[in-house]
Structure 1
C-alpha cells in the first residue's frame, strides 16, 4: 500500500470523477486517491467503478465510493451531486471525463447520435458544473477539470467533425467558467489527453493504419499512461503549486498537438 496523503495538501479533499471505471478517468482517480483525496467513481457500469474503488482501497487505503449513473440522463445529475456531498460532506474537485461520440462522416451522422454526444458531452458538463459550483465555492479551493480532444486541432478533421464539435463546446464552457468563477476561488481548466485507454485501443483495432501513423507524429515516441502521465498531471493541476493556472487548455500528449 502506497499513500502520500500524510504530506499531500490534497489530503481530505473530495473528488467526483465521471467515467472513472476505466481508462483516463480511472487513472485520475488513482493519482488523486494516492494523495489522500476521497473519490466518488462515477460511471454507467457499476462493476467497473467498484473495481476502481477496490483498487484504491488496496493500493492507497483511501476512502472511495462507486456510483452508477448515466450522465446523459440530465435529470439524474442533481441526485448524483447530492449523494456525493451527503456521503463526504463536501466537494472540492470535479472531473468531467465521461464521453460518448460518433466518429463518422458528417453525411453518415444521425441527429440522434449528435444529440446523444452533446448530452453526455457539453450539456452534462454544463449541468455538472452548475450543480457543483455552490459546493466548490464552499471549498474555497475548488477545481474543475474538463476533458477535450486534440481531434479538433487536426489539419484534416474528416470523420472527426462531430467529436471535435462536442469537445470544443466543452472548451468554450470551461473558459466561461474560468472567467466567471475564477475570482470566487474556483479554477477551471481543460486537458487534451493522449493515453493508452480502452477507447484508444479500440480505435487502434478499428483503424490500425491511421493509429500507427498518428503514433509516429508524437515527438516523445510513445502513447501516454492513464495514471502515470494523465492522472499525475491532473493531481498537479489541482494542487497549490498550480494555484495561478486557470482557464487553460493543456495538451498532455507528448507534444503531438500544437495548441498555438
Structure 2
C-alpha cells in the first residue's frame, strides 16, 4: 500500500532530472503518472521505468509555452488516466544570464514556459481536481532570488518569483476547493548540472563546499520524497508555502 494509491499525477518536464525524480518517487507510492516534454525519446524511456514500479505511466510530447499544448496535455492525462489529482509544474526554459545579455525574446520565452505555463496548467487542472474532491499542486521554483550575489540570476529568479506569487495566490484562493498549492526550491543533480560539475570541477567543488550539508541533492530521494509528503495527507494543513530543498544553502530570512 502506497500513500498515493489511486492518485493521478501530471508532471511537466518529467522525462529526466528533477521531473523524473519526482515522478519516480510518486510512482513508488502508488500514483499513476502522466509526463510531458518536448522530446519523445526520454519520455518513452521514463514511462517504461515508471511502469516497472507497478503503476500506469503515460506520456505526451508537448511544449508548455503553447496554450493549445497545455490544454492537450491536461486533456490527454484525464482521458488516459481518468483525471488529475496532482500537478507538478517542473518544465521551464529560463537560465542564468546577465541582464545586459538577455534579449526581449529570451525574457518573453522564459515567462511563457514559466509562470504563464504554470497559470494555464493550474487553471486547466482546477476543475478536474474539484471533480475528484481536491488535489495538490507543486510548482518548482528557485532560491536564486535570495542569493547574496544575484549576478547573472536576475531573469531566472524573476520568472521563478512570479511562479512563487502564483503559488501563494492559488493556495489562498483554492483552499475552499480542498486544493493545496505549494512550491519546492530545489538543489539536485540533473543532467545539466552533471555536465557543469564535470566541465568546471573547481567551481563545482566550491559550490558543494558552500552547501551546509556538503552535497548536491538527489532528484528522487531528496526532492521526490518532499513531493510525496506534499501530496500526502501528512501535509493536509500545508498550503501556499515554499520549501527550500537545498541542504541549507539559501537564506530565506
What TM-score do you get using the length of structure 2 for normalisation? 0.96
Which residue in 1 is equivalent to 2:111? 118
1:211 Cα deviation (Å)?
3.3
* Matched residue, 2:248: 255
Work out whether residues 102 and 113 of structure 1, in 8 Å CA contact, stay in contact via their aligned partners in 2.
no
Note the aligned Cα RMSD (angstroms). 1.3
* Count of residues in correspondence between the two structures: 253
| Aligned counterparts of 1:34 and 1:83: Cα–Cα separation in 2 | 22
Find the counterpart in structure 2 of residue 4 from structure 1.
none
**Secondary structure, in 3 states, of the residue corresponding to 2:111?**
helix
Q: Does 1:242 align with 2:235?
A: yes
| Equivalent residue, structure 2, for 1:225 | 218
- Hey, what's the Cα distance between the residues in 2 that align with 1:197 and 1:246? 27
What is the CA-CA distance between 1:8 and the residue it aligns to?
Answer: 2.0
Contact 2:147 2:251 in 1 (8 A): no
1:213 lines up with 2:210 in the alignment: no
Q: 1:131 aligns with which of 124, 129, 132?
A: 124
Aligned to 1:17: 11
Q: Which runs of 5+ in 1 are unaligned?
A: 1-6
* Distance 1:165-1:202 versus aligned 2 partners, 3 A rule: farther
Retained in 2: the 8 A contact 1:102–1:114?
no
Report deviation, 1:136. Answer: 1.2
Q: Does 1:173 align with 2:193?
A: no
1:207 Cα deviation from its structure 2 partner:
5.0
Matches within 5 A, 1:1-260: 7-58=1-52, 60-205=53-198, 208-260=201-253
- C-alpha spacing 1:175/1:33, structure 2 compared with 1 (3 Å): same
**Pairwise CA distance, 1:206:** 5.7
1-side partners of 2:200 and 2:91: how far apart?
22
Q: Aligned to 1:256, what secondary structure does the other structure show?
A: coil
Unaligned 5+ runs, structure 2: none
Q: How far did residue 87 of structure 1 move?
A: 1.0
1:66 is paired with a residue of what secondary structure? strand
Per-residue Cα deviation, 1:214-244 (whole angstroms, up to 9, x for no partner): 2211111011101111111101110001100
Q: 3-state SS of the aligned residue for 2:174? A: helix
TM-score, structure 1 normalization: 0.94
